[in-house]
Structure formats: structure tokens, C-alpha cells
Amino acid sequence: MEQLAAAVELGFGGDRRAARDHLEALWADVGEDAFGRCTVAHYLADLQENTEDELEWDLLALRASEELTGEHAGLQVEAFLPSLQLNLADDYRRLSRTDEARHHLRLAREPLAVLGSDAYGDLIRGAVDRVGEALDAGSTEPLPTNPSTVG
């Protein structure tokens, strides 16, 4: 987790290439650990240069999450499902795949109640609203704050 946090910080600091390199190395080492695969893929998606590649990593994160139950690293699995579904909704929206975007946006909204009334919950709920508004407006442009960077 320390290596993951360091790689994510590199990305937030603007060194996307170094962050991607670190996360790809972690991906190669994570093995069968579904939580590790989910987390690494989730953050690797954010660092991709094009939406198609981002979608592939977001799908890998979701597939890995399907192997998880209960609590991992102090987090309830259900608490990060809205973020995973939100990322897919936004990917599909930017790729003009509206039906798939609406499907994943619905799946992101369903478990929102499990999120707390805290900064993270507010961030995810706000991002769900922004992606929904962009989808309703027919926009395929990246949002000013990419929802995939929120969680």
C-alpha cells in the first residue's frame, strides 16, 4: 500500500509517466490479490492517455472488485463500488456509448446510500451528478474535474 500511495502521489504531482511506470510494476507483482488488482487498476486507469485504455483498466478494476466481499484494508467493498461504476459511466460517456454510460451511472447511484456524510461521500455524489448532467447534455468532453480522480 505504501508503494501504491507513493505512485498515486507522483500522478497527483504531475509526473503521470513515472506514476504509470510504478503502478504497472505493482500490477505485475500483485498476483492473485483481488483487492490489490482492483486498487492498482483503478489508479492506473486515471493515468492513461486515451479513454479506450482508461476504460480497459476501469473494467479490470471492476472485475477484480467482483471477487471481493466484506472489508479490505479497513474499507467496505460496497463503499468503493459507486466510484468504480462512476468511472465506467464517464468512460462510456466520453466514448459516445450512451446506453452503457447510463447503465453504469444507474449502477453508481444504487449503492450511494452506503457512503458516509463525509468529504469522500460528498465528492462521489457530486461527481455522479456531474457525469449525469454531462450525459444528459450529450457532452463527450472530459469534465473539468475528471470523476475518475475522486476515488
Per-residue model confidence as pLDDT tens digits over 52-105: 999 999 999 999 999 887 666 556 677 789 999 999 999 999 999 999 999 999
Is residue 46 located within the same domain as residue 73?
A: no
Same domain, 146 and 78: yes
* Cα–Cα distances in angstroms (integers) from residue 148 to residues 29, 31, 33, 73, 145, in the given order: 24, 24, 22, 20, 9
- Domain residues for the domain of 84 are 69-151
The answer to whether residues 44 and 77 belong to one domain is: no
pLDDT confidence band for 148 (50 / 70 / 90): very low
| Domain identity same for 121 and 148 | yes
How many C-beta atoms surround the C-beta of residue 115 within 10 A?
21
The whole-angstrom separation of Cα 31 and Cα 14 is 28
Summary mean pLDDT of the chain: 89
Domains identified in the chain, total number: 2
Kindly state whether residues 22 and 95 are assigned to the same domain.
no
Task: Give the Cα separation of 94 and 142 in Å (integer).
Answer: 7
Domain shared by 139 and 80, yes or no: yes
pLDDT tens across 100-117, in order?
999 999 999 998 988 889
pLDDT over threshold 80, residue 1:
no
